[in-house]
Amino acid sequence: MISAEHYSKTIFQLFFEFKTYCEERNKWPVFLGVVSDFSLANLHAIIKSCNGITLLEYIEKTYFLVIDQNFTNVPEGFITVYLCYAHFIKMASKMINDHFNDPFARSFFKKAFAQAVVLEGIKEIEIWFTNLSFLLTEPFENNHTINATKYFDNGDNLIHRPDFILIYDFDKIISTDKNKLLKDNKLLKNNSFYKHFKLLLPNLTCDPVDLKVLNVNVNKFQNKPVLDVILNKYIPFLSLWTNILKRAEKNKPFTNTYAENYFGNLKKNILEGERNLKASRFVRKSRENILAIHKEISLNIPKNKLTKIKLKKSGIKKRKKSIQSLEQDILLICN
């Protein structure tokens, strides 16, 4: 499994050799998309090895594919790269918590981000961004803010579908980065997504007024710094965290949680912390685990009767308690 100990050249070499192996057997591509975390090392290496272009070139290429609305021009074997939904929502939730104190506003904008992940095509995302801009910039409630609120309320049905509600075990999600992607100023320079959406910002002509005289309500969602963060740090790599290319399954977020949970279980429960194993010992341990699970299922043994579960019961309780706060952001979005 690729981890924080690997760097860009190592990851590139792994993917390149795998791609070469498949091409020699006329089996490439074996997948159309790769889900990654926010690690720049991962993103650079995956895009370079699979598509032969840099991260910045990839973003520009996806922009023009979206604008042309002709996805038949996607080169054969072009691999789409997505940012993991769990990592993205965790990062977006932190940003929202840092800028809003009101629990309702926090929940509202977390749901708005969750809706954006599954939007398809440039037009849908333009509507999403425009409504978000009105909510974050208008000082008072008006037709723009009311319609924008209705828009996001109507989008709740997307994130209440059973296949969208995913509860992630964040204790097993190892963040191998410190959101360096968001701090990469090169993404802003001449970035087509940034320039495109900056033109959509509403022109505000509202002057300061006496609220008592006009008897209007203050827009409780107004927060211009949040809009600046979204425009400067999220929009430039829009093609990585939305389904703007329409290549993912409709209304389903992209996640590598299943793979990370598998490797977490492999390292903690099957290998029990051992790393330097001979191939024969690794195969033996994996076989023993598969046979044990098969026996549990065939004999219908309840989980509370398993010896291994009893031995680690106290540890499980402690771990669940430690990740409770991290799960609250996802639960807020799904409720």
Summarised one tens digit per residue, pLDDT across range 216-250 is 788 889 999 999 999 998 999 888 888 887 777 77
Q: Which residues contact 125 (CB under 8 A, 6 or more apart)?
A: 116, 119, 238, 242, 244
Going by the DSSP 8-state scheme, the letter that residue 276 receives in this structure is: S
Range of 222's domain? 93-239
CB 66 within 8 A of CB 72: no
Question: Is pLDDT above 80 for 283?
Answer: yes
Q: For residue 142, which of 206, 228, 199, 213 has the smallest C-alpha distance?
A: 206
For residues 204 and 169, which has the higher predicted lDDT (pLDDT)? 204
- Dist. CA 60–CA 319, nearest whole Å: 42
pLDDT of residue 214: 56
pLDDT of residue 324: 52
- Dist. CA 288–CA 306, nearest whole Å: 15
pLDDT of residue 267: 82
Q: Which of the four pLDDT bands, split at 50, 70 and 90, describes residue 186?
A: low
Confirm whether 124 is domain-assigned.
yes
pTM for the structure as a whole:
0.71
Task: State how far the alpha carbon of 53 is from the alpha carbons of 46, 50, 127, 142, 276, in Å.
Answer: 10, 8, 30, 46, 35
pLDDT of residue 307: 57
For residues 177 and 98, which has the higher predicted lDDT (pLDDT)? 98
Confirm whether 198 is domain-assigned.
yes
Confirm whether 105 is domain-assigned.
yes
- In this predicted structure, which of 21-25, 130-134, 308-312 has the lowest mean pLDDT? 308-312
Confirm whether 50 is domain-assigned.
no
- Dist. CA 129–CA 243, nearest whole Å: 15
pLDDT of residue 207: 47
Residue range 30-51, pLDDT digits in tens: 888 888 887 788 888 889 888 8
The pLDDT of 272-292, averaged and rounded, is 84
According to DSSP, the residues that pair with 120 across neighbouring strands are 243
Confirm whether 314 is domain-assigned.
no
Confirm whether 309 is domain-assigned.
no
Q: Based on the structure, what is the number of domains in the chain?
A: 1
CB 231 within 8 A of CB 72: no
**How buried is residue 52: exposed, middle or buried, by Cβ count under 10 Å (0-12/13-18/19+)?**
middle
- Kindly report the average pLDDT of the chain as a whole number: 76
- Dist. CA 252–CA 165, nearest whole Å: 10
pLDDT of residue 221: 92
- In this predicted structure, which of 68-77, 104-113, 131-140, 230-239 has the lowest mean pLDDT? 68-77
pLDDT of residue 71: 57
CB 99 within 8 A of CB 223: yes
Q: Between the ranges 47-61, 259-273, 320-334, where is the mean pLDDT highest? A: 47-61
Question: Is pLDDT above 70 for 181?
Answer: no
pLDDT of residue 162: 36
According to DSSP, the residues that pair with 140 across neighbouring strands are 218
Which residue, chain included where needed, has tokens 């996001």? 152
Q: Which of the four pLDDT bands, split at 50, 70 and 90, describes residue 187?
A: low
- Dist. CA 289–CA 121, nearest whole Å: 44
Confirm whether 211 is domain-assigned.
yes
pLDDT of residue 305: 65
Q: For residue 235, which of 92, 101, 52, 80 has the smallest C-alpha distance?
A: 92
Confirm whether 312 is domain-assigned.
no
